[in-house]
Amino acid sequence: MDGCCLTVAGIDGSVLEFTAVAETLRRTTLGGLTAGDRVNLEPALRVGDPMGGHWVQGHVDGVGEVVRIDEEGEALNVTFAAPAEIMRYAIEKGSVCVAGVGLTITALDETSFSVSLVPHTLAVTTLGALGPGDRVNLEADVLAKYVEKLAFPGALVRSDATA
């Protein structure tokens, strides 16, 4: 839900029940949700299903904030301020997951990155409703994290040893 890997604990018609433990609430925006808030939902990929996008696990690495939105034709270019633990894995044309949506980074600097949201993404996700100051769950590129771990085997992959 919104980029967080959660197990469905119950289903009642169109209502899904999840349990968000303290670790999830510490690392994500889920604690700020209220009844009726829209969220992005993505079912887990099943073995044998085609892989048609970015590698996304639903393991939120941090929370970012919308700093700028610019229209460009049919697209919205959105810039997010992001913590260092996300930016260390960000490269132009690399991938990032924003609120559960795998996207391509179009530009970046030391503290932020931008993505371009195409009409389909705007229509089927909550990203088109974002505004400056909105907070979102972010997941860094998992492949970059594994490359770092393999290249520097003794190093912690996260900057905080308690994670």
Convert the pLDDT of each residue in 37-94 to its tens digit.
899 888 777 888 877 667 777 679 999 999 999 999 999 999 999 999 999 999 999 9
Show the CA angle centred on residue 120, arms to residues 47 and 139, nearest 5°.
55
What's the total number of domains in the chain? 1
For 150, phi then psi, to 5°, come to: -70, -35
From the CB of residue 127, how many other CB atoms can be counted at a distance below 10 Å? 21
Q: Which domain holds residue 108?
A: 8-43+56-151
> If you write DSSP's letter for every residue of 16-27 in order, what string do you get?
EEE---HHHHHH
Question: Strand pairing partners for 65?
Answer: 81, 135
160 domain-assigned: no
CATH code of the domain in which 98 resides: 2.40.30.20
49 domain-assigned: no
1 domain-assigned: no
pLDDT digits (tens, 9 = 90+) for 108-135: 999 999 999 999 999 999 999 999 999 9
pLDDT for residue 107 is more than 60: yes
| Overall average pLDDT of the 18-33 stretch | 91
161 domain-assigned: no
95 domain-assigned: yes
39 domain-assigned: yes
pLDDT digits (tens, 9 = 90+) for 130-149: 999 999 999 999 888 888 88
Give the pLDDT score at 49: 81
Write out the H or E segment, with its range, that includes residue 150.
helix 142-151
67 domain-assigned: yes
51 domain-assigned: no
